Amino acid sequence: MKRKLRSSAPPGTTWEALRRAHWKAMGLSDEDLEKPKIAVVNSSSELAICYRHLDGVSEVVKQGIRNAGGYPIEIRTAAPSDLMIGMGHQGGYILPSRDLLVNDVEIAVEGGQLDGMVCLSSCDKTMPAHLMAAGRLNVPTILVICGYQPAGRLDGEHVDIEDVFVASVQAALGKISRERLVQMTDVAIQGPGVCQGMATANSMHVLCEVLGMTLPGSAPVLANSPRMFEQARLSGERIVGMVLDDLKPREILTPGAFRNAAMAMLAISGSINCIKHLQATAEESGVDIDIFGLTNELGREVPVLSAVRPNGEHTIDAFEHAGGASALLRQLEPLLDKEALTVGGRRMSEVVADAQVHDDEVIRPLSRPVANQASIVVLRGSLAPGSAILKLGAMQDAVARNFEGEAIVFESAAEAIAAIQRGDVKPGHVVVARGMGPKGGPGMAGGASSIVYALFAAELTHKAAFITDGQLSGLCNKGMTIAEVSPESAVDGPIALVQDGDRIVIDVDARTMDIEVSAKELERRREGLGVRELPDASGFLSIYRRDVQGMATGAVLLPCD
């Protein structure tokens, strides 16, 4: 029996008449009206190189949909790029844009009662937004990974956007010349796509495949490569089958799938931002799971199997050629939930059986890991009753397992960087930068990453610790750096009470971070805080500040049913 499509309005209703008039005006034939209507979610934009190529990808996806008997309808959304809209503004538009994009998708796909969607996933916030929208709307959905940008070379050496980020801080501190920095910026990006390296975008690309929300063999992939376009075409064809089979995201986004994704995140030493994005996706999907707790649980059994920049010397190209996410799944096979379903309609057991590892130096087996200990740990304690995240990465010999030192506190990134430049920050200090959380930023402004690189440029990476309630770029992986402290200072979390000279104790093995100040003294300080004045926020950032939830939800907007 032919499946009823939700895009088909009940016969004889006003809705059917108005909808038919609208479709016919757009050129749809009577035959088209009977086809599955598939949204092609496109964030194409001329504002950022991450998205410049997506119109070409969209055309390939649409042709695949037509080939399979569907009717594609392209919709446009916000196009958040960390490098283009995340800098130069007091607030942080980047994390809020994730949730804005989810609502963009809802308005078009749910409002239009479309039958399914193919999401073109590119820069950092589009992937989690697409996953969150899939979980919220629960209509057949498949993500297309739109690839990483090619890097350049300068004087025979590899140069990518991570190198530019580091060099920009070094130039500001007088460590390299302005001329050298300009030369690097001129060659670092050689084409469209997301940042090179295992930063947030490529980490989330890999996790999308591990979650089962892309076709096998999708991630990572060079943008505009033949393999990327082939996966786009196949995805367009597959979504029609998913609609006809009524295969929905909540059948795929199960606790087992999230467990597999957390394993993969640890095995590649992915961006710490993945934790909140996975948690937010679980929230939107109605899955009761604690990704923060799961990270610590799995960290005791999942070693680091790959060390792609900034975790090691391998490039993202090498990871792709070694087999990518599919090869990683193959190496993790003994630990995986193999009953997890994928958009292809197959179980993870079948996907893993077909996977091949082409270079087991780049993606190693469990028996020969890059590092045996957890690459990411979640700390809790009197300074972080909710959570705080420390990325140890693959180069763990260089990171101490504990740190004790005196706090030196700053209310902004600019203050902290100026103090580092003056030499006020000394070995043994714990640099505390606050007011950068979801409400405090508002929107987790990105200045915390610059502090990490300033400490690096000042040769303090392994001599001082850094703690913030802000978020870090996925490229940040240097020393005892702890981010996303929760509760944040804007809601009077303990980080708001820290004063210069307070002793802070970090114990990685115990997963704790404490402030050695009596409860009585902390309470006295809390009473003295008064009404906290937050930076001015208007427009969407003011709405975000009002409605954003705590980090335990992945910082989603308002509780989800």
SS (H, E, C) 108-124: HHHCCCCCEEEEEECCC
Residues 384 and 240 occupy one common structural domain: no
- List, for residues 428-459, the tens digit of each pLDDT value: 999 999 999 999 988 887 688 889 989 988 99
Does the pLDDT of residue 59 top 50, yes or no?
yes
Residues 343 and 456 occupy one common structural domain: no
Residues 523 and 469 occupy one common structural domain: yes
Least confident range from 166-180, 225-239, 363-377: namely: 166-180
Rounded to two decimals, the pTM is 0.95
Q: Which two tokens stand for residue 340?
A: 């997890």
Residues 96 and 135 occupy one common structural domain: yes
% of residues, the chain, pLDDT over 70: 96
Is residue 291 in some structural domain? yes
Task: Give the number of other CB atoms < 10 A from CB of residue 351.
Answer: 24
DSSP character for 222?
B
d(CA 365, CA 243): 37
d(CA 372, CA 63): 46
Q: What is the CATH number of the domain that holds 513?
A: 3.50.30.80
Is residue 342 in some structural domain? yes
Last residue of a domain, one of 319, 354, 389: 354
Range of the domain at 402: 377-553
The total of structural domains in the chain comes to: 2
Does the pLDDT of residue 556 top 50, yes or no?
yes
Is residue 183 in some structural domain? no
Spatial neighbors of 280 by CB under 8 A, at least 6 apart, are 98, 128, 132, 553, 554, 555, 556
Residues 500 and 453 occupy one common structural domain: yes
Alpha helices per DSSP H over 372-446? 413-422
Is residue 366 in some structural domain? no
Which entry of 43, 306, 473, 486 is annotated as an active-site residue?
A: 473
Residues 282 and 424 occupy one common structural domain: no
Residues 140 and 212 occupy one common structural domain: yes
- List, for residues 457-489, the tens digit of each pLDDT value: 899 988 999 999 999 887 777 789 999 999 999
Is residue 195 in some structural domain? yes
Does the pLDDT of residue 210 top 80, yes or no?
yes
Please answer whether residues 151 and 162 qualify as being in contact, where contact means their C-beta atoms are separated by less than 8 angstroms: no
Does the pLDDT of residue 87 top 60, yes or no?
no
Is residue 167 in some structural domain? no
Residues 345 and 431 occupy one common structural domain: no
225 belongs to the catalytic site: no
Last residue of a domain, one of 285, 320, 354: 354
Last residue of a domain, one of 320, 354, 388: 354
Is residue 26 in some structural domain? no
Q: What is the CATH number of the domain that holds 68?
A: 3.40.50.2300
Is residue 3 in some structural domain? no
Cis preceding linkage at 310, omega within 30? yes
